[in-house]
């Protein structure tokens, strides 16, 4: 298992753990809110019982015309009992309640945030705005489950409607608010870590590229001097010419590495020339059992690019295609154009890339070959996307059939 498999599985495990923690957190919070809601309903039931008891005491006192409620041994007189029950009702200062009869007439209300101030001497006398507000609340509450019937005696039934208290409403929103904050924190941390990691990678790339170009510079200069000496000694010109090609190639490679280390200069070119040149160069350096075809098209492809770097990308894709076909097959390079981009497709008949690997292949160090650093496609992605504002991606790939890589470069004005 390579580092990218470990990283992918670690992300899956992290997501599962995060999901479990969030679910547990929401369930615990929901349980607390349900408990508070049950407590509020119990308080409203006590409120309803007190209202019912007051009505009963008043009715019995009117019928019997006696001073005490319990004629046999009662030790609390009716006035004290009513005062105690009224104190229960008056203690509710947080839960909005509304008392209505069976016909839907509002008899009493408490703790609503009414539009107009309430007359302390006549609290049941409401303004038009307050009346409209209470009717609207009454319609809402009748559709909820927060209702307690109160049997007032005989066939008279009143209904106590109540809203959740402000505290309970806030607590109901708190878990989701905390969840949003937690997710936002995780996202910020993730992007901060990713940005730091990319910045470190960029420093490594720059340092590696500049050091490679620097190390190649001295032997290349020496080889060029030896080439002049060999010509002066009368060595076979064909041999010297072939050696000169290799030295020139080394010089090109060093130039490419030096450009990776800094922002390259982009020059206007016809992309067809670059595609044709790269295909021509690679056609003489691959097996004769591999067919390499190039269709650059007839339409001009004006782009601004660093030609040495983009040739490097194409050569890298062709080399990867050769490796994927294991010595036999065909490679097709097709250049085309759309509304905004010049497009180059490099297709092979190799072993293909599994879908789960199609993004991983661009990561540094990823390789399926026994030899190699796994940096070719990483450099290609950097060259195309960071230096040319383009895109490089796997267009299609099927195991056993082949793969098509697509390069998109914005057209120049």
Give the global pTM.
0.53
Burial class (CB in 10 A: 0-12, 13-18, 19+), 95: buried
pLDDT attached to residue 405: 95
DSSP structural state of residue 360 = G
pLDDT attached to residue 154: 67
Could you tell me where the beta strands, DSSP code E, fall in 27-146? Answer: 97-101, 106-110
pLDDT attached to residue 408: 95
The CATH code of the domain at 267-410 is 3.30.565.10
Q: Report d(CA 393, CA 374) in Å as an integer.
A: 16
Q: Report d(CA 116, CA 172) in Å as an integer.
A: 28
Q: Report d(CA 227, CA 224) in Å as an integer.
A: 5
SS3 37: helix
Under-70 pLDDT residues of the chain: 1-8, 52, 54-92, 118-126, 153-154, 201-202, 204-206, 260-262, 364-375
pLDDT attached to residue 102: 82
pLDDT attached to residue 67: 45
Q: Which residues pair with 394 in a beta bridge?
A: 405
Is residue 104 within 8 Å of 68, Cβ to Cβ?
Answer: no
pLDDT attached to residue 347: 95
Q: Report d(CA 336, CA 389) in Å as an integer.
A: 18
pLDDT attached to residue 73: 43
Q: Report d(CA 146, CA 163) in Å as an integer.
A: 7
pLDDT attached to residue 239: 86
SS3 312: helix
Q: Report d(CA 248, CA 308) in Å as an integer.
A: 13
């Amino acid at each position: 298992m390579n580092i990218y498999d470990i990283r992918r599985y670690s992300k899956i495990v992290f997501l599962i753990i995060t999901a479990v923690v969030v679910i547990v957190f929401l369930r615990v919070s929901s349980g607390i809110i349900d408990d508070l809601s049950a407590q509020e309903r119990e308080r409203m039931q006590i409120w309803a019982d007190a209202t019912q008891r007051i009505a009963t005491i008043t009715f019995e006192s009117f019928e019997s015309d006696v001073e005490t409620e319990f004629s046999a041994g009662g030790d609390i007189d009716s006035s004290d009992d009513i005062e105690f029950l009224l104190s229960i009702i008056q203690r509710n200062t947080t839960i909005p309640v509304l008392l209505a009869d069976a016909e839907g007439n509002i008899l009493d209300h408490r703790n609503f945030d009414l539009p107009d101030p309430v007359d302390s001497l006549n609290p049941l006398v409401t303004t038009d705005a307050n009346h409209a507000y209470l009717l609207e609340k009454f319609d809402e509450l009748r559709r909820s489950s927060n209702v307690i019937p109160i049997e007032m005696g005989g066939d008279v039934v009143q209904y106590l409607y109540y809203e959740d208290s402000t505290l309970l409403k806030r607590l109901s929103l708190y878990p989701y608010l905390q969840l949003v904050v937690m997710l936002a924190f995780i996202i910020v941390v993730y992007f901060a870590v990713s940005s730091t990691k990319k910045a470190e990678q960029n420093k490594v790339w720059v340092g590696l590229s500049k050091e490679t170009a620097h190390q190649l510079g001295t032997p290349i200069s020496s080889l060029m001097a030896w080439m002049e000496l060999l010509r002066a000694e009368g060595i076979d010109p064909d041999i010297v010419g072939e050696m000169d090609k290799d030295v020139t190639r080394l010089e090109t490679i060093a130039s490419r590495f030096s450009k990776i280390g800094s922002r390259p200069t982009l020059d206007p070119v016809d992309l067809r020339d670059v595609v044709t040149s790269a295909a021509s160069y690679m056609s003489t350096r691959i097996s004769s059992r591999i067919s390499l075809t190039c269709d650059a098209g007839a339409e001009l492809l004006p782009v601004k690019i660093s030609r040495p770097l983009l040739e490097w990308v194409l050569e890298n894709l062709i080399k990867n295609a050769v490796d994927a076909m294991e010595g036999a097959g065909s490679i097709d390079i097709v250049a085309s154009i759309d509304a905004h981009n010049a497009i180059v497709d490099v297709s092979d008949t190799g072993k293909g890339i599994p879908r789960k690997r199609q993004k991983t292949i661009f990561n540094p160090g990823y390789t399926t070959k026994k030899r190699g650093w796994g940096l070719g496609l990483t450099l290609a992605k950097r060259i195309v996307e960071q230096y040319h504002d383009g895109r490089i991606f796997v267009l299609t790939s099927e195991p056993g059939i082949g793969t098509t890589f697509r390069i998109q470069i914005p057209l120049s004005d």
